[in-house]
C-alpha cells in the first residue's frame, strides 16, 4: 500500500485542545512531563525510577500467558519481552482500551500499532535499552453497552445479553449468534474464513471476555512482540494499596484533579473528566459499584455493604483486588505497576491525561509522555482516480459535504456565481451614503447601517440561490462526491471511529496490519491515507 500524509488540522476532525498539544502550545507545558519527541525520551530515561516490582510483573504476565495455545514459535518475541521486563533496562510503551467485541472500531488496531512502532523506534535510538509494547485491557470496566457491538459495512452487530460487574469477567459463550451474523457479513474468502476461525477460538473457547480478548489480540499482534496485560489481579493490586488508601480514605485526588481542570478551562481548553471524592469502585463477581463516603461511613452504592474507617482500611489491605480504579485512578495504577515511558491514546484520552499530572505529583509517581495514536483513512483502489476525475485533492474530501459541493460548483461552473465583487462595490456605495447622511444628520448613520445589513442579507440569499441552481446542472458530479463522503466517512465521521477492521482484513489479510506497521510514524503526528498500489 502507498501512504499520503496530511496535517491533523486539515482533517477538520480533531479537537482544538489536541491540535494545541500537537503544536506544543506553551500553555500546556505545566500539564505534561515532556513533549513527545525522540530526545524527550532520552531525558525521561535518565530521570525515570520505576516503582514497579519487576519480578511480580513478569511472573503475573507469565501466568496470564500460561495457556499452551500461546506457546508457539510466533510467540517467541512476546515471551522474550516478558522475560526482559525483569531487567532494569526495560521499559514499556503502553496503550489501553475496552474489550470491544471483535476489536470494535478501527482505532483499537491503530492504537496498538502506534505503540508497537514507537517501541521499535525507541529501540533504534536507544539500543542499550529494551522497549516493550503493552496493550492494557480495561477488564474492570462495567459499561457493557459501550463494548457489546461493532459495525461492519455500516451494519451494527450487537451482543445482547444481561450482564453485570466487570466486563472482563463475563462468560463470552452467549456471543455465538452475534459471531455467526458477523462472520456471514465477512463474506466467503480465505481471509474471511481465517478471521472467523480466530474469532471462534477466541470467544467460544475461553471462559472470560478478558481471556478471549487477549487471545484475539495475541493472534493479530504476537509476531510484533505485543504484551497484553490484565490488571484485574491480586498481586498487582497489592502494589497499589497505598494509593488506594490515599484516594478512598484520604480523598486526595479530588482536589488536585479539580484544581488542574479549572486551570485548563481558564486557559481556554476543554476538559474530559471529573474527579469524584472517591475514585474507586467495589469489585466482586457480578458487582462493580461506586464507593461513596456518607454519614461517616464508606458505602457501596446499590448494596447494603458499608465500612467504618478501620474496616475500610482493613478491607483494602486484605483484599486490594476488590478496589477497582475509575478513569481518574486507572492511569496512576498503570504507572505504579509498569516501568512505563509513554501512554499512546486517542484525542480524548490525551486531554484527560493532561488533567492528571498534579495528582501524579502528589503521589510521587512520574508522569509518562503522552503520545497521540496514529489516525488513518484506508482508501479503496480507485480512490485517487475518482478524486482526480472530480478535480478534488485528498484534503478536499475531509471538508464538510456542503463545503466541498459549494467549492466544487464555484470552481467548475461556467458562470460567475460569487458576488464578491458586487459586495465590494456595495460597500463603497454605502460608505458614500453613510457619509452623506451623517453630514445632514448624524443620527441617520445607524439607519444607513441597518439598511446595508438588510441588503447584504438579500445579496447573500441571492448568491446561495445562484449556487443552488447551478448545483442542479452538476448533479452527477455532486452525487459522486456525496458517495465518496458516505463511503469513507460513515455516519459523517472518520472511518476509524465506526468501521471494524474485519472489512479491511477480508480484503488484505495480514497485509493490512503489516501496512500499518510499515507506514505509521508515531512521532511525526500526521494523518495517514493508505491506498493499494495499482
For the chain, give every domain's residue range. Answer: 50-239+328-368, 399-489
Range with the lowest mean pLDDT among 231-240, 464-473, 522-531?
464-473
Alpha helical stretches, state H, 165-230 = 176-186, 190-204, 209-221
Percent of the chain whose pLDDT exceeds 70: 94
Query: Confidence band (pLDDT; 50, 70, 90) for 533?
Result: confident
Residues 133-187: tens digit of each pLDDT: 999 999 999 999 999 999 998 899 999 999 999 999 999 999 999 999 999 999 9
Range with the lowest mean pLDDT among 117-126, 184-193, 380-389, 457-466?
457-466
| Non-local CB neighbours of 410 within 8 Å, separated by 6+ positions | 417, 418, 467
Exposure of 258 in the CB half-sphere (CA atoms within 13 A): 10
Q: 300 to each of 48, 144, 275, 283, 288, how far by Cα in Å? A: 37, 20, 18, 10, 9
* Partners of 306 in the β-ladder: 299
Q: For strands 280-284 and 287-294, give the pairing.
A: antiparallel
Q: H or E stretch including 309?
A: helix 309-318
- Say if CB 208 and CB 169 are below 8 A apart: yes
Which of the pair, 502 or 440, is modelled with greater confidence?
502
Q: H or E stretch including 461?
A: helix 445-472
CB atoms within 10 A of CB 362: 12
From 280, 278, 362, 279, select the one nearest 321 (Cα to Cα). Answer: 280
What is the DSSP code (8-state) at residue 288?
A: E
Radius of gyration of the chain (CA): 28
Give CA–CA dist 308/487, Å, rounded.
Answer: 57
Q: 170 to each of 60, 230, 320, 533, how far by Cα in Å? A: 21, 14, 21, 42
From 109, 112, 132, select the one nearest 122 (Cα to Cα). Answer: 132
Q: What integer pLDDT is reported at residue 414 of this predicted model?
A: 56
Q: What integer pLDDT is reported at residue 74 of this predicted model?
A: 83
Q: What integer pLDDT is reported at residue 219 of this predicted model?
A: 96
- Say if CB 212 and CB 121 are below 8 A apart: no
Residues 400-430: tens digit of each pLDDT: 988 888 787 777 655 555 556 666 766 777 7
- Say if CB 496 and CB 377 are below 8 A apart: yes
Give CA–CA dist 42/126, Å, rounded.
Answer: 8
- Say if CB 502 and CB 152 are below 8 A apart: yes
Give CA–CA dist 157/148, Å, rounded.
Answer: 8
Exposure of 340 in the CB half-sphere (CA atoms within 13 A): 29
Give CA–CA dist 228/97, Å, rounded.
Answer: 11
Q: H or E stretch including 58?
A: helix 54-64
| 107 has pLDDT over 80 | yes
**How big, in percent rounded to 5, are the helix, strand and coil portions of the chain?**
55, 15, 30
Q: What integer pLDDT is reported at residue 469 of this predicted model?
A: 57
Range with the lowest mean pLDDT among 88-102, 208-222, 346-360, 428-442?
428-442
* Partners of 91 in the β-ladder: 131
The three cell numbers of residue 259 are 484544581
From 288, 368, 283, 367, select the one nearest 320 (Cα to Cα). Answer: 283
Q: What integer pLDDT is reported at residue 436 of this predicted model?
A: 78
Amino acid at each position: 500500500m502507498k501512504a499520503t500524509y496530511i496535517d491533523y488540522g486539515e482533517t477538520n476532525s480533531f479537537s482544538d485542545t489536541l491540535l494545541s498539544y500537537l503544536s506544543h502550545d506553551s500553555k500546556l507545558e505545566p500539564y505534561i512531563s515532556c513533549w513527545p519527541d525522540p530526545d524527550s525520551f532520552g531525558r525521561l530515561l535518565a530521570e525515570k525510577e520505576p516503582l514497579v516490582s519487576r519480578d511480580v510483573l513478569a511472573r503475573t504476565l507469565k501466568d496470564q500467558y500460561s495457556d499452551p495455545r500461546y506457546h508457539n514459535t510466533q510467540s517467541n518475541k512476546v515471551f522474550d519481552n516478558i522475560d526482559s521486563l525483569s531487567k532494569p533496562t526495560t521499559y514499556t510503551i503502553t496503550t489501553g482500551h475496552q474489550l470491544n467485541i471483535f476489536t470494535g472500531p478501527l482505532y483499537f488496531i491503530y492504537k496498538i500499532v502506534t505503540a508497537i512502532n514507537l517501541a521499535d523506534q525507541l529501540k533504534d535510538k536507544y539500543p542499550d535499552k529494551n522497549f516493550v509494547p503493552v496493550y492494557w485491557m480495561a477488564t474492570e470496566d462495567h459499561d457493557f453497552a459501550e463494548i457489546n457491538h461493532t459495525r461492519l459495512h455500516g451494519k451494527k452487530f450487537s451482543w445482547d445479553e444481561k450482564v453485570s460487574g466487570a466486563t472482563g469477567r463475563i462468560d463470552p459463550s452467549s456471543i455465538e449468534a452475534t459471531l455467526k451474523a458477523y462472520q456471514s457479513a465477512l463474506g466467503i474468502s480465505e481471509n474471511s474464513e481465517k478471521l472467523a476461525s480466530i474469532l471462534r477460538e477466541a470467544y467460544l473457547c475461553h471462559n472470560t471476555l478478558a481471556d478471549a480478548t487477549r487471545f484475539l489480540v495475541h493472534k493479530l499482534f504476537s509476531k510484533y512482540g505485543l504484551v497484553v496485560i490484565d490488571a484485574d489481579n491480586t498481586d498487582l493490586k497489592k502494589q497499589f494499596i497505598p494509593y488506594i488508601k490515599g484516594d478512598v480514605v484520604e480523598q486526595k485526588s479530588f482536589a488536585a484533579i479539580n484544581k488542574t481542570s479549572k486551570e485548563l478551562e481558564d486557559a481556554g481548553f476543554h476538559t474530559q473528566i471529573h474527579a469524584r471524592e472517591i475514585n474507586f469502585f467495589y469489585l466482586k463477581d457480578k458487582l462493580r459499584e461506586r464507593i461513596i463516603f456518607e454519614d461517616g461511613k464508606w458505602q457501596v452504592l446499590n448494596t447494603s455493604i458499608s465500612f467504618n474507617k478501620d474496616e475500610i482500611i482493613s478491607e483494602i489491605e486484605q483484599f486490594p483486588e476488590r478496589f477497582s480504579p475509575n478513569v481518574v485512578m486507572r492511569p496512576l495504577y498503570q504507572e505504579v505497576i509498569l516501568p512505563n515511558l509513554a501512554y499512546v491514546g486517542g484525542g480524548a484520552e490525551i486531554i484527560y491525561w493532561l488533567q492528571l499530572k498534579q495528582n501524579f505529583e502528589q503521589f510521587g509517581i512520574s508522569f509518562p509522555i503522552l503520545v497521540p495514536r496514529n489516525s488513518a483513512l484506508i482508501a479503496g483502489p480507485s480512490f485517487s482516480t475518482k478524486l482526480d476525475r472530480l478535480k478534488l485533492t485528498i484534503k478536499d474530501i475531509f471538508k464538510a459535504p456542503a463545503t466541498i459541493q459549494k467549492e466544487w460548483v464555484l470552481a467548475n461552473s461556467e458562470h460567475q456565481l460569487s458576488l464578491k465583487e458586487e459586495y465590494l462595490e456595495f460597500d463603497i456605495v454605502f460608505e458614500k451614503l453613510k457619509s452623506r447622511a451623517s453630514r445632514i444628520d448624524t443620527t441617520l448613520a445607524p439607519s444607513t447601517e441597518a439598511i446595508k445589513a438588510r441588503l447584504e442579507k438579500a445579496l447573500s440569499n441571492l448568491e446561495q440561490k445562484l449556487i443552488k441552481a447551478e448545483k442542479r446542472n452538476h448533479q452527477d458530479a455532486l452525487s459522486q462526491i456525496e458517495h465518496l463522503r458516505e463511503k469513507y466517512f460513515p455516519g459523517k465521521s472518520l472511518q476509524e471511529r465506526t468501521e471494524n477492521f474485519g472489512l479491511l482484513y477480508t480484503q488484505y489479510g495480514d497485509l493490512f496490519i503489516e501496512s500499518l506497521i510499515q507506514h505509521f510514524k508515531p512521532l511525526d503526528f500526521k494523518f495517514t491515507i493508505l491506498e493499494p498500489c495499482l
